[in-house]
Structure 1
């Protein structure tokens, strides 16, 4: 695997300025660069501000980026991929020894908004927003198109990352889309003081605008690694946002955007061999967005791999077992290649993803220093979202075509899809989202935008065999107490 590029000291200082304060709105210490110095440096040397973007990407995999030091569920974006898969009913906590995720899977998440689980995602996503705003301000502000091409590409990345964070906040901290409901404070510049909640429609207007302008700014950008976002990544994120909002022609636009990504030809579907090949290498051709982890990042038991992979030295192997929900597993046909991703043998590791996510050495508790990579997005998401948006916008022929294309190397016969329409077609698409993207955090998004209830199977350590409404407050987060105390304008925590 390639080494992640290292940046200059001044870039690191710029990152520290925006990423390491204890309070989201804390004034910057005087020993760090001022915003004016950042702006001037960016004008003279684009590598300086590009280094700040590299710092933002590092927040996605570093431990403690949700603001904690000792919580072993706090390790960036993949932290929330796990918890969203649990909330969607896809990933069961089948054995629990150390207590991590107990409250989440016991469905007592909402009982205490003073706890870390409410604080960490809020802290993490607003930390990225704050960092993105520093880059945007350093390039002149969101209404400016920088003169230098390199700075245009950096501005585009910052706008996409800001939108990505607001989108996830809109999913975690609300029950469902309600245009007039006040949900989140909006910050578009580092100079803003505390803000009250903005209504949902305003939050989504910002998300859509950021992504549309990000796509334009990233035109022609050839990223050096898959760690960075590009126009195709932005198009898929925009399609997610539009499909969730679902106003006017949003669904048709979501279909068209995902078709553009598919037709770009940049990413082939995951091969049959790779479907049980470990999902551990960012160079896998179907991976659109991910990070090449090396020993330099110094990740070990506090990591996504540590929580999921029984071949990594950490919780999955030692007593906090994560498995596919038994009811979902039963929906996978026996001739489906993906059935082999999960351990069928009864015992402690029953239904663990031992053939989907694993360290290549395949020694239980073997990998100590994490060098297996993180995936954030695969091309299969574009196919599945395209099929969904097509079906929901009335283009069922397109929906069937995209679904069949994705399944052709997973099932020996996909002709049954030709006979599906209406609810049967939508149910099949949703089922395939849950199966294909197991462990990747995307089923929760599909659950909320399509309003499917959670149906748990029998292999949960807590609260098995229950049905939960998609908008049940037990499946969402509350604005944390600490944030309400720091921002008196957030005086209404009622969703």
Structure 2
């Protein structure tokens, strides 16, 4: 079977383990596709493969409107938490995810997407890693190309192990099954590796990438560099309760990035030239994603059905915890009637209490906005949380201070200690990263329960209000097609 590569999207044939190996795709060679030999003959050509993965991050390749690349995962992760509120069932998009149905249905499209999307990235990265050393070109370019691919692979496995594996617990064996580790271009059926093995590989990939990134300057924030690789390393360390590494890499990652001022904070979160954005996708007018854009779901002012009928709101209890002097409180309308400051599409009539204006499109006729994947603010929060969880209350409060006082000029150094300080830091994290795709991951990694009670969740739309910590529902099922095609090689999670 001849491997083919799409210059715009797919850099390698999808692995058999992806459960959707389309014969027509694999056995044809369209005019916009080239052979691996041609693509990896030079580093100049190989950069095309890297750019193909960058485009995967915001493209729609699975057919479902909500699955516009990584933003699909971001939407799902927040709608499954308690901080984003589903106001109405007028639009069914994301409804079953909010009800905790889709990720426990082995035949759901949402489950398939979260499995296949990351394996497409892994497949592409594997092709680059396997071929780049023999390409004609400078050693500098080869190192940078391999570093980008390693970072993508390590990040993708980190994303997947959090979904399909059990929660990682420091000091334990973590021997439960996660996902198959596929590290070379291959069509062989591969059994699932353990949680510990997947984390070890993700760490190795990121460590190798950090070494290769030394001295590399990227062309724009859609690309990785050593800062972003260290930011991912900090995320992994935080999830593994490796507090020392979380602190170390979070501090190193954010060097050179300046927290935005309060005026910029209210500008719509749509421009990756923002001084604190570290990694993002730049979306241009000739690449508009129409109704599968992140902003077609999360912006206040784009004229999509989802926004007209179901604008997103913040958890009212969380909103009420934000001090009045904090700029972030201005991002939500507690009244649902503030027409002057909270724009909605001209053809819309739906307004709800606590609705958001955090994300806005600059041009209401286009669903365009740059999508944030990593900001320096997160690095301050990682450092503060890690210090607090290892008992360094003074250092934790000092780490939180620059971010907290930037958002709230009236904030003073926290005097909280122990559990109270951790709660303060986590609330800061919930407010700061609202809508950016972190909440499900945070609840799972901290072994917290889902608790939507005592807030503005409507039981008709969020009929699952509580899920105990450690419940089997925190583990995504494996797509049934993967189970079927594996003939017993890949086994299912507990149903």
- TM class by shorter chain equals 0.7 to 0.9
* Aligned equivalent of 2:362, options 350, 360, 363: 360
**Superposition deviation, residue 53 in structure 1:** 0.5
Determine if the alignment matches structure 1 residue 402 to structure 2 residue 402. Answer: no
Count of aligned positions: 464
Determine if the alignment matches structure 1 residue 156 to structure 2 residue 153. Answer: no
**Superposition deviation, residue 104 in structure 1:** 1.4
Given the superposition, is the C-alpha separation of residues 331 and 175 from structure 1 closer, same or farther in structure 2, using an over 3 Å criterion? farther
For 1:295 and 1:329, how far apart are their aligned partners in 2? 34
Q: Which residue of 2 aligns with 1:411?
A: 408
**Cα displacement string for residues 140-196 of structure 1 (whole angstroms, at most 9, x for unaligned residues):** 49xx9x961101001000000001110111112234126111111000000351110
**Superposition deviation, residue 95 in structure 1:** 1.6
Q: Which residue of 1 aligns with 2:70?
A: 77
RMSD: 2.5
Q: Which moved more, 1:156-165 or 1:476-485?
A: 476-485
Determine if the alignment matches structure 1 residue 168 to structure 2 residue 164. Answer: no
Determine if the alignment matches structure 1 residue 323 to structure 2 residue 310. Answer: no
Q: Which moved more, 1:167-176 or 1:351-360?
A: 351-360
Q: Which residue of 1 aligns with 2:369?
A: 372
**Superposition deviation, residue 299 in structure 1:** 1.2
- TM-score if structure 2 supplies the norm length? 0.87
Task: Look up the SS of the partner of 1:48 in the other structure.
Answer: helix
For 2:48 and 2:197, how far apart are their aligned partners in 1? 31
- TM-score if structure 1 supplies the norm length? 0.87
Determine if the alignment matches structure 1 residue 435 to structure 2 residue 434. Answer: no
Q: Which residue of 1 aligns with 2:333?
A: 343
**Superposition deviation, residue 304 in structure 1:** 0.9
Q: Which moved more, 1:455-464 or 1:211-220?
A: 455-464
Instruction: Map residues 30-429 of structure 1 onto 2, 5 A cutoff.
Output: 31=29, 33-39=34-40, 41=41, 45-64=42-61, 67=62, 69=63, 71-140=64-133, 148-177=139-168, 179-191=174-186, 193-246=188-241, 250-262=242-254, 264=255, 266-346=256-336, 348-351=350-353, 354-360=356-362, 367-415=364-412, 417=414, 419-429=415-425
CA contact (8 A) 1:15 1:131 kept: no
Instruction: List alignment gaps of at least 5 residues for structure 1.
Output: 1-9, 362-366
Q: Which residue of 2 aligns with 1:6?
A: none
**Superposition deviation, residue 494 in structure 1:** 2.6
**Superposition deviation, residue 111 in structure 1:** 4.8
CA contact (8 A) 1:156 1:213 kept: yes
Q: Which residue of 1 aligns with 2:492?
A: 492
| 4+ residue segments displaced more than 3 Å | 10-17, 19-28, 30-39, 351-355, 470-476
**Superposition deviation, residue 48 in structure 1:** 0.8
**Superposition deviation, residue 394 in structure 1:** 2.9
Given the superposition, is the C-alpha separation of residues 291 and 352 from structure 1 closer, same or farther in structure 2, using an over 3 Å criterion? farther
